[in-house]
Structure 1
């Protein structure tokens, strides 16, 4: 029985499976780009530390509780990582703007530079791939990735700094 004579439900399932496979294939390429960008800074920070830097750089001042919650780690782990990043001069702690009794974690200039280095590498690598596609393919890909990101619950931003690591593992 060929695919044109298969029942509609089976054709639909096969089509969906091919869609999942296509996204998996593309994700391998994107993970390769992400890994190469992280390799540029792995002598300075670990991947979990980079996730914290990225979170704070893209979301602004955050409490330790929010960092722990967003990264789905216990507060003591988040606190230890933040302390290491502060000792390295990549993060700062300040009074929270809304409540001076609480502390907010902010990104230091060196931390912002490190995140920007990773982001720039990633943008250049993605741009090199996109240049291999036609303008129409890039437009279609943009619409598809925008919809995928929204469906996945990624925050939208108009900032020039793009997320360089998912917020949730």
Structure 2
């Protein structure tokens, strides 16, 4: 097999693993789809990963007009998942933070993802698992070890108080 063929096989192997991980992430979203929409979950994860956010930051996160972000966040406020508070330094800005219920929902989703991945890892032979984990770390390092900017596939969250 030539160099080009090997590279294609390497990419195909990475795509297969990525597909499995994306299906795990998608199933965790389905678990809470009766409670929040996908954009609402993105808002919750953005707040969980970055701390309090403004409506402008949420609009940029979702790639929508500020009025759409306001409606999305209002539904989360009404559901008791986030709270709004005025910025004391500049009342034009509203900070959005997670409530205890919002924290619990995000932790539920992330917990589901972690448990599903742990199940796959547990099914592997110990030597293969060690090899895969080493490869995952090397892959993340080569990519700069940064989680997705939108938090959509985040599996690790900072400690939430």
TM-score relative to the length of structure 2: 0.80
> CA-atom RMSD, angstroms?
2.5
Question: What residue in structure 2 maps to residue 144 of structure 1?
Answer: 138
Tell me if the contact between 1:61 and 1:96 (Cα under 8 Å) persists in the aligned partners.
no
> Which of the two has higher C-alpha Rg?
1
Question: What residue in structure 2 maps to residue 78 of structure 1?
Answer: 69
Question: For structure 2, which runs of at least 5 residues remain unmatched after alignment?
Answer: none
Q: Say if 1:73 and 1:17 are closer, same or farther in 2 by CA, change over 3 A.
A: farther
Question: What residue in structure 2 maps to residue 108 of structure 1?
Answer: 99
The whole-number CA distance in structure 2 between the counterparts of 1:92 and 1:130 is 37
Question: For structure 1, which runs of at least 5 residues remain unmatched after alignment?
Answer: 162-169
TM-score relative to the length of structure 1: 0.77
**Map 1:12-161 → 2, pairs under 5 A:** 13-96=4-87, 99-101=89-91, 102-133=93-124, 134=126, 135-147=129-141, 149-150=143-144, 154=148, 159-160=158-159
- State the SS of the aligned residue for 1:146: helix
What is the total number of aligned residue pairs between the two structures?
151
Q: Say if 1:23 and 1:127 are closer, same or farther in 2 by CA, change over 3 A.
A: same
Quote how far apart the aligned CAs of 1:31 are.
1.7
